[in-house]
Amino acid sequence: MSMNVLILRSVNYCIDCDGITYPLHINGTPDMQKGVHYNDVGKEWLDKLSDDDAAELKDWLHNKNK
């Protein structure tokens, strides 16, 4: 299965085109059983995002909402 996702290394998650975040397995594949919408992630998760990942996420969300 091929997914269009943005990898967020600082939190070891990815986000898909629908705004669902998934934790990454050790092998780098998303754990499809533990998806959480971006609007529902906690403050702690957001605080762990690196500045680079936060900037990429902002661009990703902006471009997906066009």
- Rounded CA gap, 53 and 34, in Å? 20
State pTM to two decimals. Answer: 0.86
pLDDT string in tens for the chain (66-residue length):
457 899 999 999 999 989 999 999 999 999 999 999 999 999 999 999 999 999 999 999 888 766
Q: b/e string for 48-64 if b means 16 or more Cβ within 10 A?
A: ebeeebeebbeebeeee
pLDDT, position 61: 86
